[in-house]
Amino acid sequence: MADVRVQFYGHVRQYHNLKTEIDNAITEVLESGSYVMGPKDKQFEGELAIHMGMKHAIGCNSGTDAIWLAFRALGIGPGDEVITTSNTFWATAEAIWIVGATAVLVDIEPRTRNIDVTKIQEKITPKTKAIVPVHLYGQCAEMDAIWEIAKKHNLLVVEDCAQAIGARGDTFKIGDQSDAVCMSFITAKNLGTFGDGGAVVTNRDDIVEPIRKLCNHGSNKRSVHSFGFNSRLDEIHAAILSVKLKHIDRWNDLRIARAADYAELLAGTKITLPYVKPGYRHVFHLYVIETPKRDDLQEYLKEQGIIALTNYPIAIHQQEGYPPFGLGDPHPTLPHTERNAAECLSLPLYPELTREEAKIVADAILEWERKSG
């Protein structure tokens, strides 16, 4: 393979750009002697809630935990059906199965590749308890339509916002009318720590203490326990996230600028470029193109020293482990999801990517197209 000219991830560059601030934050935690459930977690939770314009944030160990902790606090469990999409990372559905509920998968709207809101209604049964929209690749699902359906059928709404901190809809903000919004802070996310982290963000006062207890072995008082788990946001990660949160709006702007570069440089190609809904702020966690010759293009880029990856080449319902415990329709009909799985290719995109690097990628794609016809 050729030497790598354009990397897929930018987090090491990001670390170098913020090295002093991050090293100082970590050192401060190390010197403090307080590594879990300390002041840095509290501070970050407050900052995150303000950034999202919501009342509460509760740090936890991962985005996956955030989703199922929210489910448990909201009373979602065995016998319940939860509607979501199959074009997502496995963890969205995994969280549904962890609480013993059934994942009901809806096809995507082909342009945004988010859940098709016109197909939700037909999947609602007396057992349906919640809808879990995923703001995939950094663009919000159509929350106004989803909230309307949820209200009509008395359903809970838990947003999977792992990929979309800072995104917005045209007339709505993430979380406006939802029961919970779940965040992931794993390294490559728009806001990522150097390891795992997550949070539940909510306007509901009644689920805050239950989630805090669940995260801490069912305890909010020393030596007193009820049923729970261990899922806490470590102080080192909270301190790193506080440093990085200050930069998130600027980083998202840079992602949007590089996405605009790709759109300009690739105008006129036959490959399908990401679609941004009018009025939406798409924060481009991933820049996912589509082409029927995806594998061929990915290989060609690799030969040119450009790393492109796939999100998600095997949809949830196509995974060998689907549906665990029989908690899902084994053969759902999801043609748009399956086409996206076969054709999607994620180009390098991160705030530290330069326009020159985006041009190297775009030129290679144009060259491939000329050669492959």
Question: Is 71 or 368 the residue whose CB approaches ligand PLP more closely?
Answer: 71
Q: Is the omega angle on the peptide bond into residue 312 within 30 degrees of 0, that is, cis?
A: yes
Asked whether the beta carbons of 217 and 225 are under 8 A apart, the reply is yes
**Residue nearer to ligand PLP on the CB measure, 186 or 263:** 186
Alpha helices in the chain (DSSP H): 11-17, 19-32, 39-52, 63-73, 90-98, 143-153, 208-215, 235-245, 248-265, 294-303, 335-343, 355-372
Q: How far is the CB of 11 from ligand PLP (least distance, A)?
A: 14
Least distance to ligand PLP, CB of residue 241, Å = 12
- Chain Cα centroid distance, residue 341: 17
- Distance, in Å, from the CA atom of 284 to the CA atom of 95, rounded to the nearest integer, reads 24
Residue 98 interacting with ligand PLP (CB under 6 A)? no
Distance of closest approach, residue 184 Cβ to ligand PLP, in angstroms: 3
SS3 state at 130: strand
Tell me whether residue 280 or residue 368 sits nearer to ligand PLP (CB atom). Answer: 280
Which of these ranges, 16-24, 36-44, 86-94, 354-362, lies near ligand PLP under the rule CB under 6 A?
Answer: 86-94
**Per-residue binding letters, 191-230, with ligand PLP (x by CB under 6 A):** -----x-x--------------------------------
Write out the two tokens for 100: 């013993």
Which contacts qualify for 16-23: CB closer than 8 Å, 24 or more apart?
A: 17/352, 18/243, 18/244, 18/247, 21/243, 22/240, 22/243
**Per-residue DSSP letter, 201:** E
Site map (CB under 6 A) of ligand PLP, residues 153-192, x = contact: -------x-xx--------------------x-x------
Residue nearest to ligand PLP (CB): 63
- Based on CB atoms, which residue is closest to ligand PLP, 88 or 102? 88
Q: How many residues bind ligand PLP (CB under 6 A)?
A: 15
Contacts with ligand PLP by CB under 6 A lie at 62-64, 88-89, 91-92, 134, 160, 162-163, 184, 186, 196, 198
